[in-house]
Amino acid sequence: MMRRLEPQSGEFIDRSQPLKFTWNSKKLVGFAGDTIVSALLANNEQIISRSMKYHRPRGVLSADYWDPNTTVQVGDEPNVRAGHRLLETGIKVSAQNVWPSLAYDIKAANRLAGRFLTAGFYYKTFMKPQRLWPLYEKVLARFAPGGVVDLNTPHGYHDKRYAHVDVVVAGAGPTGLAAAISAAQAGMSVMLVEHNHRVGGHLLWGSDQDRETAAELANLAKVAGVEILTDSTVTGRYDDNWVAIAQRNHPGVVERLIKARAKTLVVAAGLIERPYVFAGNDHVGVMLSGAARRLINNYAVRPGHKAVVLTANAQGDATVSDLERAGVEVVAVVDGRKGQTISSASGSSKQLKTVITSDGSKLEADLLVTAVGWTAPTSLLNMAGDRPSYNPTAARFFPTALPDNVLASGGIVGDGSLDELIAHGRSTGKLAAQRAAVIQHRLRTTVTRAVKPDGTEPPLPQDTRKPLVIAPHPELYRADTHGMVDYSEDVSSKDLLGAAAEGFDSVELVKRFTTATMGPSQGKLETVNTVAVLAEAKGETIEQVGTTVWRPPYAPISLGALAGRVFEPVRVSSIHEWHEANNMTPILAGQWIRPEHYGDPNAEVANVRNNVGIIDVTPLGKLDLRGSDVTKLLNLVYTNKWSKLPIGAVRYGIMCAEDGVVFDDGVTGRLSENHYLMSTTSSGAAQVWQWLEMWLQTEHPEWQVHVTPVTTGYTSINIAGPKSRELLNRLVDDVDLSSEAFPYMNVRIGTIAGVSNCIMWRIGFTGELSFEVHVPSGFGLHVWEQLLAQGADLKVHPFGLEAQRIMRLEKGHFIVGQDTDGLTKAPTTGLTPLIKLDKEDFAGKPELQWSLDAGAAGLPVLVAITPNDPSLVPDEACQILRQGTTEIVGRITSSRFSPTLQRSICLGQVASEFAAAGTELTMRLCDGSDATATVCTHHAHFDPEGVRLRG
């Protein structure tokens, strides 16, 4: 039985373009312009879903995006709004949450148990026996509603757009269009965002005259230069009008996120029709007036044959004439304005058959249309801080107070004729434009370090709009029977009354207990009915009960659109391609990919110890510090003193958080009077930068310091080994590299292999004579290759991170974050001499003062450890126990086999009573066995005097 009507003057469908699709594997045909729902109805498919708990058959309710009954799976996309999504050729549509099929659903048996499955029933049972709960849980989880995630769904490619517009208008009904037009005519750039596929709002399913008006307004908007986005939703309004827009019709992607910093936001989101609560209100064949009108006028679908209409407003009245025009027999019009209502609706699972009115009349009908009022979607206004209040005359909520940069127009703020609505929209657009100009001025003056614009701020234009009237509307919420309040959650008015009687009697508690309004439409259709039923339960007014806070997003937005592309690139140095071409084994170190080794780390160690090696240490954090107050900053963030650092010198320092815990270390060199280069750990680079900026911006904005991260601006190479000076000498002419002229812990600027402005400092993590050179990145590879070419006879060989780690462990250098942790205070590392408590202040000083006053008692100590079995290399996690117990007294933090010493060596943290040299330790290895080890005298297993380093 086809339900498609003869061509309608306002139809969206293109009858010349049939589209094939499948519905639960059944082959069907619709037209271009159809929504999935209109195509299904045209094919006489009335049951679109099953309800969550009772698996009741559900058909169309609102036939739009918010319809709780028409969520379907399309291919690998779950939870598609079939009342909104346009039909596409070849799509595979299926019902969700049904088993085994939509038509015969076994879980519908739950309906029989409905009286026992009251809201929140699961809180009251399945407690004993406790061991069975996991089983119960599995069963409950099977009732989870929604579609299916295909685990093969690709990540997809999502871009975002940043829009820089003056005015964003949410909603392109007549008021939104009018507002956009007048704001644009006032010279503002305007973005008009419409949730549906076409602009015009309710005019589209009105009269031909209405549609003409809509077309005229749309044309005016285009001419005025308004950017119109359809099938797009303003999903959020955040601080300072940071506006998020989900654009669903951008080619090639599911959704695109547009972010706009609107100077003013106009909310003209219209009204959402509210269902009526009565027995059988979720029956297939019961729908809202807007749904009936859209189906007839826009999709040429006849929603039924014999209809009863409950109307309390003009839209309901218009539905009656629409139905009659479509050949639907209207058996009765029940007028809510005269105190008449509906009591119940019933029929078979497939079809509505009987409607009983409040006066007891029993009517035969397969369609019941209700028009009982509106919910104002004040969501965006909520996000702007507004708390709406209820007006019983109009039977809906209205905004109370909005910030200067948010304006509302249309149904959200009042009623009126079409002309009055358009006039209000126009004056709203004008005001939005005036305010945008003032806010523009304000924004420019508040930007720091910029040239301020001329003139003082103009006064903010006051709101002189003629307010819309508030038309009376009967308060129709619930009949004398109980029905569904939240369709998607299967929560009835009876559930709500029960919950209120149990004491869950505030709107938030009842929501949490029953889950009403927590489903996919987030209360768009359900909230006000929930509040009304609760008010009834408590004997209070709706205003007294109040409403829940609407949270972003206004419409759900895909994770793909939110994610966009991840702007967290993998970081590599300018020498990376060379490493790849030369047998690098890569390792992930934070964001970086680095060479772990080039084949044999032990040979790399031997070559550094005997000849010379070069390592790419570009990931080392580098911050360029300039200004007259840099020493003040260094004194504040490092524990040691920096006031007397001579030009050309480099100093090591540790940084502590305010709790005295070491969070970074590195060297800083003074390049000239007011110019320093700071190095940080590779993983701590970003954190240290933030830390410096935090002190500069929040505590000492008066300090003259400019911090520039230059980590990747320089390619950093460490040349290490007894022949490193000889090698570097071959490439450098303008700096005397001799030990006398360029001693240990000094810095020079010079030219390396023809590359000027290279920074060289004499420091070393490996324990060998070494030079660390920072070369402008563009020349990094050149210098690297020159070092290898010029040093061939010196047996220069690159070495990787692993060899460096072995050598630093041989030398006893600790690594922040490996040998220290989130609890390690500075004294633990053995660097107490670097804690200068006589400084006026530094980060962590009070904590360290306390620790040192107490003789660092209770703090663990970082010590070098050698396993008694020299061939045993314990895991870098194994715990040190008090002998004969499982009491943890320390742990191994670093552990390697030393090729130089031909034995295993470790660093570890131990309780102070175990820290004395020669103490025997018990290690619990990761395999559960125990082994012994001994504490060493010095952190350095190799060259403790540092002869090689200073050579």
Segment 859 to 888, residues that bind another protein, using CB under 8 A: 875-879, 881, 886, 888
Instruction: Tell me which of 156, 474, 722, 776 binds another protein, using CB under 8 A.
Output: 156
Segment 226 to 255, residues that bind another protein, using CB under 8 A: 236, 238-239, 242, 244, 254
Rounded to whole angstroms, the Cα distance separating 194 from 201 reads: 9
Considering only CA atoms, which of 26, 33, 30 is closest in space to residue 10? 33
Instruction: Kindly state the smallest distance separating residue 526's Cβ from another protein, in Å.
Output: 14
Considering only CA atoms, which of 35, 48, 156, 15 is closest in space to residue 88? 35
Instruction: Kindly state the smallest distance separating residue 214's Cβ from another protein, in Å.
Output: 29
Instruction: Kindly state the smallest distance separating residue 164's Cβ from another protein, in Å.
Output: 16
For another protein, the closer of residues 787 and 807 by Cβ is: 807
Contact present, 860 and 910 (Cβ < 8 Å): yes
Please tell me whether residue 843 binds another protein under the rule CB under 8 A.
no
Instruction: Kindly state the smallest distance separating residue 857's Cβ from another protein, in Å.
Output: 11
For another protein, the closer of residues 589 and 745 by Cβ is: 589
Instruction: Tell me which of 148, 223, 647, 789 binds another protein, using CB under 8 A.
Output: 148
Instruction: Tell me which of 22, 89, 153, 708 binds another protein, using CB under 8 A.
Output: 153
Long-range contacts of residues 545-548, Cβ cutoff 8 Å, at least 24 apart = 545/506, 545/507, 546/507, 547/388, 547/390, 547/397, 547/507, 548/507, 548/508, 548/511, 548/517, 548/523
Please tell me whether residue 94 binds another protein under the rule CB under 8 A.
no
Please tell me whether residue 564 binds another protein under the rule CB under 8 A.
yes
Burial class (CB in 10 A: 0-12, 13-18, 19+), 913: exposed
For another protein, the closer of residues 520 and 776 by Cβ is: 520
Three-state DSSP class for residue 31: strand
Segment 68 to 87, residues that bind another protein, using CB under 8 A: 76-79
Rounded to whole angstroms, the Cα distance separating 803 from 719 reads: 13
For another protein, the closer of residues 520 and 830 by Cβ is: 520
Strand-strand pairing, 329-335 and 306-311 = parallel
Q: Which range of residues in 213-221, 573-581, 586-594, 648-656 is near another protein by CB under 8 A?
A: 586-594
For another protein, the closer of residues 450 and 566 by Cβ is: 566
For another protein, the closer of residues 125 and 902 by Cβ is: 125
Other CB atoms within 10 A of residue 540 CB:
14
For 21, phi and psi rounded to 5 degrees? -155, 170
Contact present, 346 and 354 (Cβ < 8 Å): yes
Q: Which range of residues in 138-146, 175-183, 610-618, 715-723 is near another protein by CB under 8 A?
A: 138-146
Other CB atoms within 10 A of residue 453 CB:
12
Segment 512 to 551, residues that bind another protein, using CB under 8 A: 512-513, 515, 519-520, 522, 551
Per-residue burial over 494-528, b = 16 or more CB atoms within 10 Å of its CB, e = otherwise:
bbbbbbbeeebbebeebbebbbbbbbbbbbbbbbb
Please tell me whether residue 623 binds another protein under the rule CB under 8 A.
no
Instruction: Kindly state the smallest distance separating residue 138's Cβ from another protein, in Å.
Output: 9
For another protein, the closer of residues 401 and 926 by Cβ is: 926
Segment 461 to 500, residues that bind another protein, using CB under 8 A: 497-498
For another protein, the closer of residues 30 and 523 by Cβ is: 523
Considering only CA atoms, which of 270, 212, 260, 210 is closest in space to residue 235? 260
Instruction: Kindly state the smallest distance separating residue 560's Cβ from another protein, in Å.
Output: 4
For another protein, the closer of residues 559 and 789 by Cβ is: 559
Which residues contact residue 260 at a Cβ distance below 8 angstroms, ignoring those fewer than 6 apart?
162, 163, 164, 165, 168, 191, 242, 243, 245
Please tell me whether residue 786 binds another protein under the rule CB under 8 A.
no
Please tell me whether residue 163 binds another protein under the rule CB under 8 A.
no
Segment 919 to 938, residues that bind another protein, using CB under 8 A: 924, 926
Strand-strand pairing, 613-616 and 797-798 = parallel
Instruction: Kindly state the smallest distance separating residue 236's Cβ from another protein, in Å.
Output: 6
Instruction: Tell me which of 1, 2, 451, 566 binds another protein, using CB under 8 A.
Output: 566
Please tell me whether residue 586 binds another protein under the rule CB under 8 A.
no
Instruction: Kindly state the smallest distance separating residue 894's Cβ from another protein, in Å.
Output: 9
For another protein, the closer of residues 1 and 151 by Cβ is: 151
Contact present, 914 and 890 (Cβ < 8 Å): yes
Instruction: Kindly state the smallest distance separating residue 872's Cβ from another protein, in Å.
Output: 16
For another protein, the closer of residues 548 and 900 by Cβ is: 548
Please tell me whether residue 697 binds another protein under the rule CB under 8 A.
no
Instruction: Kindly state the smallest distance separating residue 502's Cβ from another protein, in Å.
Output: 5
Please tell me whether residue 388 binds another protein under the rule CB under 8 A.
no
Element (H, E) at 44: none
Contact present, 365 and 254 (Cβ < 8 Å): no
Rounded to whole angstroms, the Cα distance separating 516 from 505 reads: 13
Which residues contact residue 885 at a Cβ distance below 8 angstroms, ignoring those fewer than 6 apart?
none
For another protein, the closer of residues 311 and 895 by Cβ is: 895
For another protein, the closer of residues 216 and 875 by Cβ is: 875
Burial class (CB in 10 A: 0-12, 13-18, 19+), 149: exposed
Strand-strand pairing, 14-23 and 92-95 = parallel
Instruction: Tell me which of 175, 358, 378, 851 binds another protein, using CB under 8 A.
Output: 851
